[in-house]
Amino acid sequence: MTIKDTPEQCEVRATDTPFVGNKTSVRTDDVVMPDGSVVRRDYQVHPGSVAVLALDDEDRVLLIKQYRHPVRQKLWEIPAGLLDIPGENPLHAAQRELYEEAHVKAEDWRVLTDVYTTPGGCDEAVRIFLARNLSEADGERFEVEDEEADMEHARMPVDELVRAVLAGELHNNCLVVGALSLAAARSGDGLDALRPAEAPWPARPFES
């Protein structure tokens, strides 16, 4: 048996959108289950996101720290952001986020992993990139606001980052998945065997 996620679409008898927010909304579907029962499922509709694990020449990962109101904490994270434009190339979005949040550019880009953050209650899909050969971006720094206004920056060696994740000291989803995926890729076929930066992404199709 092949262990691999597969597309599946249960019948939806009725649907409603009781809440529409600035970036996301909430949808309510009446869904026919495999046993024939009809159940109501509420979930957040999300445009999708990208995140960047940026690895420098000293084997350190670029981190940012910002306030996250739903969990009432300031979290260390990797640069990330929404796919604001439908059909936007996720690589272009990732390059933009790395510039805006860290004023950094990268010459080598790979797909590290693709994840659904909380598939039981949200349709958000995230593509996490590995970015290498880093340098400071050209031009003026991007002007940040809101949660990003007091953003902190740091660089942490990969081994220390993995230790902190496993010790329960770091909790951001993209950081945790990215750090452990990086460690797994290194112990497997190596970073150069990762998928190319513009590999297909069925969860959020895009044009090259």
Catalytic annotation, residues:
148
Taking Cα atoms as reference points, which of 45, 43, 122 lies closest to residue 86? Answer: 45
73: β partners? 68
E strand map for 60-147: 60-68, 73-77, 80-82, 104-116, 125-136
CB half-sphere exposure, 80, CA atoms < 13 A: 22
Taking Cα atoms as reference points, which of 85, 80, 49, 27 lies closest to residue 201? Answer: 49
Q: Torsion angle of alpha carbons 199, 202, 204, 207, nearest 10°?
A: 50
Q: Torsion angle of alpha carbons 172, 149, 80, 176, nearest 10°?
A: -20
CB half-sphere exposure, 200, CA atoms < 13 A: 1
User: Which residues, 6 or more positions from 102, have their beta carbon under 8 angstroms from its beta carbon?
Assistant: 54, 62, 64, 79, 153
43: β partners? 27
